[in-house]
Structure 1
């Protein structure tokens, strides 16, 4: 038989094939031949750096950066355990025109390496994301401003707060940042103990600033926000919140506002009236846990802002099915809505949204009462084939009958989240999978009545299954993977009744499996043999990239030498 070569297939066919392959697999494919290297290089624009990237064949991260010259966005995995300074030095020395660097949820900001080599990276970097770092200080902000003077977007939100002023972001750091970043267009400083002085510095010194996000900044006043908007009337997006009282003056000068998010604040009557009369070009409006909003004000705002495509009204407890009946005709342009914690809403509202909002793609109604209105079924509701994503979590009323009705109305669902819905049973999930066969992501965390996902043959396209804290055991898991295991890529199965036998069956049948989370599976290897079990898990599944071990096995199985061995096979064990 003639030996097969990469060049045996035309380049356009390889191109079509590789567009269906995860970018994570491009690293090994790029080492096979020059043709695949050329195609994967052309297709790849993003790179996620993880522990396995550092140990990858072909030179680790430096080798990957040499092969993929079109990478423009780099994200460091939040679970990364390696040397972050080394990663920054490698990126800087690669000569790539990196435009976005995402360091979210890292232990610290790599100030020392940024100061040393950041100048090379700073010529092209436009977006830096450093949200939820365990530590961020004024020194870090100064390093950012000196190394990346051309920065246009910066996110330093929700860092862990410290009581020591030396370990915090303060007004001094923000002022130093503002004085150097002349091209800054968007900044998120949510969650920091900064004051009006920071807002004044940003709005007065950053001439291009158009997006400002300052949620959970309890020392920033409404007057400072109004002054910032007055200085920057071209502001297009604002997120604020934290015990504020908004008045007519708050956004009086914002004529181009397209996105407004307000949380945990008081909305005065004059503010609501001025917003209703403003006729702003709003596309996104969100009021979360706000006091002062009522049905009449909301109706007036929605009536004059028919162009809204995303709306959030979390904890708007004045909303009822009857009031939503009057509002839904005003929401025909919506593509996404969040009505979480609106505790008086039932499935009646959901069906009205599906019927009256033909563009709707995502609905979030967690912590509501879907299933409590007996007889408000979906028999006469027109199907909505645009809805792709649902979040129905924490609903004590959601039952099998209501779930079937929702599935019948939304047959093209791709993602369903229904955490802690105790009344949903195996048959309800089974019916959902049969009616909505194209679901790719299913999250049933904490659904304590679930023992399996049924046997009706649904979920044929499922790729992500999150079923932690359910009662799915070896038998239910085996039934599931026999039906749809071929496509599964991510499984979170922190269930106390699962044993190593059920997990072994899953690994044998799921040939595309990349991530497995078994953190609270305390019955796995309870009688010993854990070393052999883990080795078989890693070495028998070439696709596996990450395994989160049961807590009781972590200390016995994850020595440094073992981690290095598994990394050489492309799998992170943690």
Structure 2
């Protein structure tokens, strides 16, 4: 032999006697030359035998969908565990939206069964109504369902969803095929707390039916539902008095002061309200809202051009807990509004004043000296405020918590003013734009001009 070789291990005793002692028939084995060599069998530990099934399931429950499917291909035992319903309680297929088919979703429903609690199918554009039928049959304990942008779904899907009586949160926004007929089925889910029906074709009829049945609603998104009027909002406020979040963004001119007065009278727990681009709301509505919604934290009224200082003065006095206020393009707002906010709203963190063209440096001075400025104010947006100058930036030095300021198209703001502000607030992010300086060109020769009135040469 040129070198020592370990003989292959055998579980049994071979007939040739080539065992560990080397006393076999040939006598020329390693044992005869080096003495007794004992080779022990050391099998690698089997994780399936060393760990309880419950521990492996717990590990699998923390894996993402792709990794879990890969683990299912290791062995039959892992395949069984990987598709155990207990670890499929929260499923999100959002990242694979365009690749998900209705048949795949039906298979998933059968595997998850009653274990499934939360399902995110947002953007699964191939999803159809039959898949919802499978979920309504197998996943009766479903609590959270996101079907946003599943645009092939219709009212028939709502008919199946009504079987999920434990449903607490539902998102069907951007599904234009859902109308008041679909809402009639969804109203059977009486435990709903959160509902998003933005950009669906619903009207006051559907909203009223929903409010009458789902009295526990706390958050409702109705963005872009232009057939909803003040009457529907009033009905909502009467039946869902615990409402905390309501978005009527771009619901149009049908939302008027009566809706705001109804919310103020019936929804004292309201925390967040979006009225952006509801252009017929006036100071009267704002005063009614402020009178009853003292817990309001976030208000968006961008593009509500009929609102003025008197409405926002009432808001500041009645809603001192305000944290975020969006007044973009409220063209009647003046320094008086800023003075009211400075005096009453000590928790204000985010304030948008873009396109409020009547504001001046004095308004910023009052805001910077107010209750919110030293510790609370973090974001201030002043885009396209033509009367704001570097003097306003000097006042903002007192806002120690300020993290971001937007100054696009503020023509009287200079680079040096911004540098001085950043010198006092080094962590501040400034968003501004300065048009590049155009180099002077050669003077053009004087040309003859014609008067358009008499066509005579000038």
TM-score with structure 1 length normalisation? 0.55
Deviation digits for residues 358-411 of structure 1 (CA, Å, limit 9, x no counterpart): 2222212222226x5465562797353322122223444444333333443423
CA contact (8 A) 2:221 2:248 kept: yes
> Secondary structure in 2 aligned to 1:250?
helix
2:87 is equivalent to residue 150 of structure 1: yes
Name the structure 1 match of 2:14.
none
Aligned to 1:442: 379
Of Structure 1 and Structure 2, the greater strand share is in: 1
Match of 1:464 in 2: 403
Residue 82 of structure 1 corresponds to none
**Pairing 1:478–2:416 present:** no
User: Does residue 429 in structure 1 map to residue 364 in structure 2?
Assistant: yes
Which residue does the alignment assign to 1:189? 121
Task: Tell me which of 348, 354, 369 is aligned to 1:413.
Answer: 348
Report SS of the residue matched to 2:105. Answer: helix
Alignment of 1:317-466 (within 5 A): 317-321=253-257, 323-346=259-282, 348-369=284-305, 372-373=307-308, 376=311, 378=313, 382=317, 384-435=319-370, 436-437=372-373, 438-444=375-381, 446-447=383-384, 449=386, 450-452=388-390, 453-456=392-395, 459-466=398-405
Distance in 2, Cα, partners of 1:356 & 1:207: 39
| CA distance in structure 1 between the aligned counterparts of 2:242 and 2:349, rounded to whole angstroms | 26
Larger Rg: 2
Shift of 1:457: 5.2
Partner of 2:431: 493
- Note the aligned Cα RMSD (angstroms): 3.7
Provide the C-alpha distance between the structure 2 equivalents of 1:364 and 1:97, rounded to a whole number of angstroms. 44
Q: Which residue of 2 aligns with 1:508?
A: none
Give the one of 216, 220, 228 matched to 1:293: 228
2:354/2:385 contact within 8 Å kept: no
- SS of structure 2 residue aligned to 1:175: helix
Residue 189 of structure 2, aligned match among 245, 248, 254: 254
Task: Quote the Cα distance in structure 2 between the aligned partners of 1:380 and 1:311.
Answer: 17
Query: How many equivalent residue pairs?
Result: 362
User: For residues 460 and 374 of structure 1, what CA distance do their matches in structure 2 show?
Assistant: 24
Deviation at 1:209?
1.0
Match of 2:135 in 1: 202
Of 169, 176, 179 in structure 2, the residue corresponding to residue 245 of structure 1 is: 179
Per the alignment, residue 74 of structure 1 pairs with none
Q: Among residues 185, 207, 210, which one is paired with 1:275 in the alignment?
A: 210
Name the structure 1 match of 2:104: 173
Q: Per the alignment, do residues 255 and 323 of structure 1 end up closer, same or farther by CA in structure 2, a change over 3 Å counting?
A: closer
- For 1:73, the equivalent position in structure 2 comes to none
**In 2, Cα distance between the equivalents of 1:475 and 1:196?**
61
Secondary structure of the 2:220 match is strand
Residue by residue over 1:76-108, the C-alpha shift from the partner in whole angstroms, topping out at 9 and shown as x without a partner, is xxxxxxxxxxxxxxxxxxxx979889xxxxxxx
Calculate the TM-score normalised by the size of structure 2.
0.67
Pair 443,170 (structure 1): closer, same or farther in 2 beyond 3 Å: farther
Report the alpha carbon displacement of residue 313 of structure 1 after superposing the two structures with TM: 1.6
- The 1:100/1:301 distance shift into structure 2, 3 A limit, reads farther
CA distance in 2, matches of 1:170, 1:418: 46
SS at match of 1:456: helix
Unaligned runs of 5+ in 1: 1-95, 102-108, 121-141, 162-166, 498-521, 524-574
Counterpart residue number, 1:548: none
- Using the TM superposition, give the Cα deviation of residue 461 of structure 1 relative to its aligned residue in structure 2, in angstroms: 3.3
Offset, 1:417: 3.3
